[in-house]
Amino acid sequence: MTFRWVMGCVAALALALLTLPAGLTSSHVHAVPTENGALQEPVCDAEARPANFDFTLEDMNGNDFAFESLRGKVILLNFWATWCGPCKIEVPWLVEFADQYRDQGLAVLGLSIDDTADKIQDFAGEYDVNYPMLLGLDREDFQEAYGPIWGVPMTFFVDREGTICRTHAGIATREEFEKDIADLL
């Protein structure tokens, strides 16, 4: 009987590990040789693809937010939830980035995947959020356009040309975010 329990636990653990994404942080930037032979990092990941700007979402205050208004900016799009522990670590950094880099053309956006406007408003007040917080509840179309979203937090960086250049699945370090911002600005 004990052998069956052990085998069942091993099988369950193996199945759980197989369902995780290959790399929780997926900045897959590969260095390329320049004319003089030096290696240079490209700005975008090898998996870069065009961002979809054909969305208007509601923000936490009930106002429409058109993604089209962000064309020409560097966008940090963070999928999150009020119950997410790692999200609570990242949000203060995002607040600082929104202040620090706004004048250089960075737009920080938060998209709550499953919270109501009142929960988001309470959270935004507690964390002094200074960037648009959008409602993603029942907006699987938007999540699919940028995803797949495997979990939260999940962050996408869009360059000024409208390309989803870099992605972080799971919590990223402050330094990783700062490097991505600097590279795209």
Q: What is the pTM of this model?
A: 0.77
Spacing of C-alpha 113 from chain mean position? 12
Q: Examine residue 3 and state whether it is found in any structural domain, yes or no.
A: no
In the chain, the number of structural domains is: 1
End-to-end Cα spacing for the chain: 60
Task: Give the pLDDT confidence of 28-65 residue by residue, as tens digits.
Answer: 444 444 455 544 466 887 888 889 999 999 999 999 99
Task: For residue 84, indicate whether it is catalytic.
Answer: yes
Of 9, 44, 87, 165, the catalytic one is 87
Separation CA 170–CA 84 (nearest Å) = 10
Task: Give the pLDDT confidence of 150-165 residue by residue, as tens digits.
Answer: 889 999 999 999 999 9
User: Which range of residues forms the domain containing residue 139?
Assistant: 25-184
Of 9, 44, 84, 165, the catalytic one is 84
Q: Examine residue 15 and state whether it is found in any structural domain, yes or no.
A: no
Tokens 């000024």 belong to residue: 160
